[in-house]
Structure 1
């Protein structure tokens, strides 16, 4: 009786391990293929030493994104007055790489704020 259980177990174990390993491999492949979604971030920088601030920011982004075209597509807005910096769509990995670039002071995820009307509560 005991040997039958061992034989049954030894017959079931290899296919079971194969199914489990295929399942784990497929999960790993799917996770590797799904890129991190890019979200909008605000990047505060030191004042660029050049007059063409936008070109400077594109150059900074190019170092991380790999091409000037990708940098231009990612760039959303250039801040020149109250603060120096720009906003861009970046993945978490790109945020990490950009934070190491010279002149980058801080990177914050952009947040939508709900404006409040002055009329609330006045009836």
Structure 2
């Protein structure tokens, strides 16, 4: 029995989500975690999707969170009230070469 080939999708492939750090205003009258989740939900469309993307909530030295976001989501999130900055997370290695000894 021959099978029909499946139709090819005309949608563009979705962009890969990468980790970004989102800096926000300090929330007034609500817990930081709740504020960050609501901010993310406003872009991702559901609390479930926001919880899946949310990686960490920052609440001591700065207010914000890290989440896996596509470029379109970064653009939308950047326009949300209270969002100060969205930056791509990156890792850096410290150089730990051999100890230098100086004599005088």
Compute the TM-score of the two structures, normalised by the length of structure 1.
0.70
Which of 23, 31, 37 is the matching residue for 1:58? 37
Query: Aligned ranges for residues 5-16 of structure 1 at < 5 Å?
Result: none
Cα RMSD (Å):
1.7
Structure with more contact order per residue of length (Cα contacts < 8 Å, sep ≥ 6): 2
Pair 1:122 & 2:89 matched: no
Q: Which runs of 4+ in 1 moved over 4 A?
A: none
Pair 1:43 & 2:43 matched: no
Deviations, residues 37-64 of structure 1 (Å, cap 9, x unaligned): 0000000011011341101100011110
Whole-Å separation in 2 of the counterparts to 1:104 and 1:34: 28
Give the 3-state SS of the residue equivalent to 1:36 in structure 2: coil
Whole-Å separation in 1 of the counterparts to 2:60 and 2:30: 13
Give the count of matched residue pairs. Answer: 93
Higher helix share: 1
Which of 60, 65, 70 is the matching residue for 1:81? 60
Deviations, residues 72-103 of structure 1 (Å, cap 9, x unaligned): 01000111111110000000000010011110
Compute the TM-score of the two structures, normalised by the length of structure 2.
0.82
Whole-Å separation in 2 of the counterparts to 1:106 and 1:77: 16
